[in-house]
């Protein structure tokens, strides 16, 4: 609602403006009610690369929408976070419980689950994304595995290993991966998995040079010339 109002205000001042709505959170069945999560970062990266090349506003919007149409995400929490204004945890979890399908602002998820192994979680989360995206064996994907603010890197790497092994067992080709912290929820411990189905246009823009706090790409690395 706020972004729509901002675009209309800009248009009233003669500024060319438009917007897209990211709705990649597959934990919510009704697509019209879905939240924007990790795929938002990939929209910024790819649409930003297109804008940097001088694409027109409608062209930038088109490729941003392509990212939204081909990307999905899901997250889980092992602990809640405390929003500063509230001063208390946003929800409560038992010592053996997982909050499944969380948002990015400390919101509770859609289901409470018992603790399970990293590989079991990876399968459940990837299956939700694969089913919603209708991915096919042989599809080329970009994989993002991140923490939620308070997850140690060792645990993120273990979880990434399990997610990567499972998606490859399903026959998908992993073009590239990000492991880290890109869209977090303060001190929450947990993780998110995001998958973007790629084509040649998206691959090129994804690899375009960028240097930010969260995203640093230097573009394709040329192969050495053998003489």
Instruction: Please state, in angstroms and as integers, the Cα–Cα distance from residue 158 to each residue in 24, 32, 161, 192, following that order.
Output: 24, 33, 5, 13
Residues linked to residue 111 through DSSP beta bridges, in sequence order: 100
Asked if residue 184 is part of any domain, the answer here is: yes
* Beta pairing class for 210-211 and 216-217: antiparallel
Confidence of residue 223 (pLDDT cuts 50, 70, 90): very low
* 8, 105, 165, 173: the active-site residue: 105
Taking only the tens place, the pLDDT of each residue in 156-169 is 999 999 999 999 99
* Cβ pair 37, 24 in contact under 8 A: yes
Q: 227 lies in a domain?
A: no
**How does residue 222 score in pLDDT terms, banded at 50, 70 and 90?**
very low
- Asked whether residue 14 is domain-assigned, the answer is yes
Active-site annotation holds for 44 = no
pLDDT at res. 48: 96
> What are the angstrom distances between the C-alpha of 60 and each of 53, 66, 194?
10, 10, 22
Work out the widest C-alpha separation in the chain, in whole angstroms: 65
Give the pTM.
0.92
Q: What is the pLDDT of residues 181-208, one digit of tens each?
A: 998 899 999 999 999 999 999 999 999 9
Q: What is the mean pLDDT of residues 95-122?
A: 93
CATH number of the CATH domain containing 194? 3.30.1180.20
């Amino acid at each position: 609602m706020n972004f729509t109002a901002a675009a209309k205000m800009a248009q009233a001042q003669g500024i060319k403006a438009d917007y897209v709505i990211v709705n990649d959170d597959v934990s919510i069945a009704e697509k019209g009610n879905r939240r924007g999560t990790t795929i938002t970062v990939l929209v910024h990266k790819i649409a930003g690369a297109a804008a940097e090349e001088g694409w027109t506003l409608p062209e930038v919007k088109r490729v941003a929408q392509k990212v939204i149409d081909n990307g999905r995400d899901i997250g889980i929490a092992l602990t809640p976070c405390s929003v500063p204004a509230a001063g208390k945890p946003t929800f409560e979890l038992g010592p053996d419980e997982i909050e499944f399908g969380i948002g990015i602002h400390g919101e509770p998820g859609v289901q409470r689950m018992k603790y399970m192994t990293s590989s079991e979680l990876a399968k459940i989360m990837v299956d939700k994304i694969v089913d919603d995206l209708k991915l096919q064996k042989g599809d080329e994907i970009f994989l993002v595995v991140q923490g939620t603010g308070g997850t140690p890197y060792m645990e993120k790497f273990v979880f990434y290993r399990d997610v990567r092994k499972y998606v490859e067992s399903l026959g998908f080709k992993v073009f590239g991966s990000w492991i880290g912290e890109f869209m977090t929820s303060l001190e929450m411990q947990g993780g998110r998995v995001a998958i973007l189905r790629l084509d040649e246009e998206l691959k090129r823009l994804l690899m375009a040079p960028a240097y930010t706090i969260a995203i640093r790409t230097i573009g394709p690395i040329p192969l050495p010339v053998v003489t």
